[in-house]
Structure 1
Amino acid sequence: MDAKRETFETRLKSSAAEIEALLDLLLSPTELSDEIARPDLLRSAMHYAVLNGGKRLRPFLVVESAALLGGNRQAALRVGAALECIHCYSLVHDDLPAMDDDDLRRGKPTVHIKFDEATAILAGDSLLTYAFDIIAAPETDLPDRSKTELVLAIARAAGLGGMAGGQALDLAAETQAPNEAGIIRLQAMKTGALIRFACEAGAIIAGASTEDRQRLRRFGEKIGLAFQLADDILDLTSDIKTMGKATGKDAARGKGTLVGLHGMEWADKQLRRHVEDAEELLVPYGERAALLITAAHFIAERKS
């Protein structure tokens, strides 16, 4: 393992530990001001949903994008935790019988299996809502304007025109496979939008220029494309033990993927191209961007 990759993996684990400690604190039994009570079953399901493993890649991207531009690290950790709440809510709901109907997530029973369907729905609802609470709270040490921009950006990334809309398109793809443009749109919404936000959020936290914000946003879009393409490859080449969830489900349901349309050789070339494009965007930052560039390679080369 080269030094840059080793540094990256060390920082990724360190960041994940910080995020998990913060999420554990945020989901403690102690009520916040203006909360009446925290029902234990619901809180336990939320805690299970967000603290059952995972690389914490999206929060890492928030923290490191903010660091690149001199942003407040503690604020970035809180925004990263908020983003992880939204990501985990989406997994809880995607796993439900009415959606993807999965029994395993990260090698463990999904929330509706561990608890029950109603609790899983409420846990997802509560995690989504809590994300906005975390960003807006006084403990997130940012100017009100920055908080407003973050709330708007994450809402657009997570909602009708982003992740939730992408899931709707994904469900529709089971009955009518989309063409190439449709697949790209679906993936940009369902998977790419939150990764794009993770990188753009760092610039917002740092109060960076419009140019920096757009550059980090485009970087997020590129690595989001790489993430989904790598996921599609893994869905065909990996197994349930490695992935911690069912594989081969897209093909079994007749869903179109770019890998299915163009083949594995094309996918490998396209994956490299996305990483090269991502690297090119960070050239102006020089060596300061080394960690984010290594993250782009990690996303393309990951095995789970």
Structure 2
Amino acid sequence: MTTAPAHPQIGIPGTPWGDAERAEWLSRQIRQRSYQADVLSAIESLRPRFDLEEYGRLDYGPDSYPLIAIRSRDWREELPVVLVTGGVHGYETSGVHGALQFVDQHAAEYAGRVNLLVAPCVSPWAYERIHRWNPDAVDPNRSFRDDSPAAESAALMRLVAPLRDSVLMHIDLHETTDTDETEFRPALAARDGKTFEPGSIPDGFYLVGDSENPQPEFQQALIRAVEQITHIAPADDNRKILGSPVVARGVIEYPLKHLGLCASMTSAPYKTTTEVFPDSPSVTPEQCNTAQAAAVCAAIDFVLARQ
């Protein structure tokens, strides 16, 4: 069942937004939580155990956001590199806090076995406003390409560029929420001057693999780990999730590089995007964070077992 769009109409239906419409949209965005209190303070608490690196700074109007990555302290060139990203869509809360939970509770288990690079909150402006886009109404997770229109994506690509061909595994932590259907997809249609086509939200956790390099055993290892914590999204009556064919239990595939998705930014042979469903009445925020952390652990365990 779908619901009517929750956002007010901006612009003329069927006409893509211009500068005036984007400015109107921006004027309606309200800070609802604190990047400093929620994220930077948690990252700072990790300083005694990990190296922290400011890899960029976003200056949006009166607001300035340092972008912080977390690195293994025992970084060694001969070790494989594992990349963990979260908060590319700022409103997807467990992507951020699941990444931080992984570092705090599990990263030490991999010391001396992998080089860890974690960017837990790629889009802090959107994190504070619980939104999918940046202030320019650009989706960072469609912007991982040359001459990126999103400063968030460009900063992360610069950080990762020296390691691009040495990353063994990249896991990008996301959520699919009910507001995707009630707010963000209608807004996307309005922004682009298209007709909103109602859909449905998958009830449970699923993964998005790379259609150009599927790695089915890798994806299923993560599904098995996460199903101990939260339920796996079933296919719909057409054997699809969000309009994409289900290739294995809880797994769909996208052409990651073609779409400019975060998980496409390296040459990693193993890559995936997690999708937690936080709006289920049977899960808690803590379970969502734990599911994300478990997925990261399962991903690293899988690739290490094959080294």
Same fold (TM over 0.5): no
TM (normalized to structure 2)?
Answer: 0.31
TM (normalized to structure 1)?
Answer: 0.31
Considering Cα pairs closer than 8 Å and 6+ residues apart, tell me whether 1 or 2 has the greater RCO.
2
More helix by share: 1
More strand by share: 2
